[in-house]
């Protein structure tokens, strides 16, 4: 079986005679913009879960239970992502990256539009949160293959010396898409009264997704198939059972990617999901202050992701990722302890959000696109990303914010700091273990049967 010939995760190779510069730019732009539009939808839900859904869809609950239920519906989208990632990732390895990316965009766009049309608890009772959960499941399936597919397109078209930078663009698109989603809620809430915003104004950004869906669909349909996938098609080496192949041939790569993703998404969604509810309930901020904090967190993340991705092309992927995990572990004790409760200045909250989700998560997420792709063979790379990353997403992004909600209703932030410290150190350990695949082993893969990665 023909194997991937990319460089090792830590030692970028020299320039190659890969795709043309024009094709590389086109693929990178399509991957970035498509992911930006997709994560506008996905992150819009996250922002609304922090400031709207508890009162609109769970109005009969206590503040604690309403918050837990609102964040729980956000978590549901991640719980279904491993299944969607396995199915859609396997299809992406069998029929191509492009077709799956078009499908995920349509599914996400339709689900988001319907959230904007959904009646609240006051109108239809328990049916409202039930339908909200169903639509969140559809969003989760749509998102399950988005990042992996976009990263594959960017990296498989990238010149060898720019794979870290190009592979970071989907992550940058996801972060800036989150900024657009949160900014749209902030803009609408600033232009009307709180009563009008909670009654109907919050729906406007969701309904605007129909415009985004149309543009994104046009963009994705013009996306070329990657040279790597075309090559295995021409050589008749497309895997018939890619998900079973990756489990059998590369279980170690799957495990390390899963644990690294738990760390990355657990830390990231701690800041952009849980810290929104923390700002409201524990710090006493209004919706505007919380939304500004979410924008600061995501904007800092989006700006720094390509910087760390480019840095990984020069010093190696793993050192940059390990720095991000260690920084996050230390900052958990420094930053979160500064948020002592009601009376905390909003500016301090915004700085903690920006430094926590900006520096730490960006250092992890920036190089991670190229890093995890280089761990897998081309024939089952999409499946490996779908299973490893999405299982990690389910555990990290779904459970960490929910656990944090329960810990936040204590009189101390120590338990919150300890939670993020543990998650960060797990990701650090997984990164260290993944480095044992040496450059010589990677290069020799093409001459022998696949070894455990």
Q: What was the pLDDT predicted at 209? A: 81
Q: Distances in Å between the alpha carbon of 157 and those of 6, 90, 94, 98, 213?
A: 12, 20, 18, 13, 25
Beta carbons of 341 and 283 less than 8 angstroms apart: yes
Q: What is the spatial distance between Cα 282 and Cα 387, in angstroms, rounded to a whole number? A: 36
Q: What was the pLDDT predicted at 129? A: 81
Q: What was the pLDDT predicted at 50? A: 65
Q: Is the pTM of this model over 0.75?
A: yes
Asked if the model's pLDDT at residue 267 lies above 90, the reply is: yes
How confident is the model over 164-186, as a mean pLDDT? 87
Read off the pLDDT of residues 111-132 as tens digits, 9 standing for 90 and up: 888 988 988 877 888 788 888 8
| Domain residue ranges in the chain | 21-438
Read off the pLDDT of residues 376-387 as tens digits, 9 standing for 90 and up: 988 899 999 889
How confident is the model over 308-314, as a mean pLDDT? 95
Q: What confidence tier does 12 reach under pLDDT thresholds 50, 70, 90?
A: very low
First to last CA, the chain: 16
Instruction: Work out the angle between the directed axes of helices 414-434 and 317-334 (0-180°, nearest 10).
Output: 170
Q: Distances in Å between the alpha carbon of 441 and those of 152, 242, 249, 255, 258?
A: 22, 22, 15, 19, 22
Q: What was the pLDDT predicted at 64? A: 62
DSSP 8-state class, residue 161: G
Asked if the model's pLDDT at residue 15 lies above 60, the reply is: no
Q: What was the pLDDT predicted at 295? A: 86
How confident is the model over 387-394, as a mean pLDDT? 86
Q: What was the pLDDT predicted at 311? A: 96
Q: Lowest mean pLDDT of 199-208, 254-263, 406-415, name the range.
A: 406-415
Beta carbons of 173 and 36 less than 8 angstroms apart: yes
Q: What was the pLDDT predicted at 445? A: 42
What CATH topology corresponds to 21-438?
Answer: Growth Hormone; Chain: A; (1.20.1250)
Read off the pLDDT of residues 275-292 as tens digits, 9 standing for 90 and up: 887 888 888 888 788 888
The C-alpha angle 330, 401, 192, rounded to 5 degrees, equals 110
Q: What was the pLDDT predicted at 67? A: 62
Rounded to the nearest 10 degrees, how much is the dihedral formed by the CA atoms of 25, 31, 34, 37? Answer: -100
Q: What is the spatial distance between Cα 36 and Cα 30, in angstroms, rounded to a whole number? A: 10
Beta carbons of 253 and 376 less than 8 angstroms apart: yes
Name which of 172, 179, 168 is nearest 299 in CA terms.
179
């Amino acid at each position: 079986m023909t194997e991937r010939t990319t460089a090792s995760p830590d030692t970028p190779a020299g320039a190659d005679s890969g795709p043309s510069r024009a094709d590389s730019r086109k693929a990178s732009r399509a991957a970035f913009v498509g992911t930006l539009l997709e994560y506008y939808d996905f992150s819009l839900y996250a922002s609304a879960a922090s400031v709207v859904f508890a009162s609109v869809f769970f109005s009969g609950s206590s503040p604690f239970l309403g918050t837990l239920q609102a964040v729980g519906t956000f978590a549901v989208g991640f719980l279904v992502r491993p299944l969607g990632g396995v199915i859609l990732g396997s299809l992406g390895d069998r029929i191509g990256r492009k077709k799956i990316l078009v499908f995920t965009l349509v599914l996400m766009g339709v689900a988001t539009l319907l959230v904007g049309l959904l009646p609240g608890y006051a109108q239809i009772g328990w049916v409202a949160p039930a339908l909200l959960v169903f639509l969140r499941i559809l969003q989760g399936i749509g998102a399950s293959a988005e990042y992996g597919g976009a990263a594959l397109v960017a990296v498989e078209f990238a010149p060898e010396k720019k794979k870290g930078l190009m592979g970071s663009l989907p992550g940058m698109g996801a972060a800036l898409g989150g900024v657009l989603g949160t900014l749209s809620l902030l803009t609408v809430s600033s232009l009307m009264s709180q009563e009008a915003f909670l009654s109907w104004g919050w729906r406007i950004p969701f309904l605007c997704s129909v415009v985004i869906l149309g543009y994104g669909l046009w963009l994705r349909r013009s996306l070329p198939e990657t040279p790597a996938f075309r090559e295995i098609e021409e050589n008749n080496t497309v895997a018939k059972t890619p998900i079973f192949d990756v489990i059998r041939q590369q279980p170690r790569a799957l495990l390390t990617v899963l644990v690294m993703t738990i760390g990355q998404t657990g830390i990231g969604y701690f800041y952009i999901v849980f810290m929104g509810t923390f700002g409201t309930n524990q710090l006493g901020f209004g919706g505007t202050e919380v939304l500004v904090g979410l924008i600061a967190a995501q904007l800092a993340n989006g700006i720094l992701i390509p910087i760390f991705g480019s840095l990984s092309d020069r010093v190696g992927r793993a050192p940059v990722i390990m720095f991000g995990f260690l920084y996050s572990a230390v900052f958990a004790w420094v930053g979160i302890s500064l948020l002592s409760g009601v009376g905390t200045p909003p500016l301090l909250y915004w700085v903690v959000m920006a430094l926590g989700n900006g520096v730490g998560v960006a250092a992890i997420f920036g190089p991670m696109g190229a890093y995890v792709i280089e761990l897998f063979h081309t024939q089952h790379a999409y499946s490996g990303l779908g299973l490893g990353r999405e299982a990690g997403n389910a555990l990290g992004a779904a459970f960490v914010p929910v656990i944090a909600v329960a810990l936040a209703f204590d009189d101390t932030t120590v338990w919150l700091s300890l939670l993020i410290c543990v998650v960060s150190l797990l990701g650090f350990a997984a990164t260290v273990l993944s480095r044992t695949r040496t450059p010589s082993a990677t290069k020799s893969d093409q001459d022998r049967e696949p070894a455990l990665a």
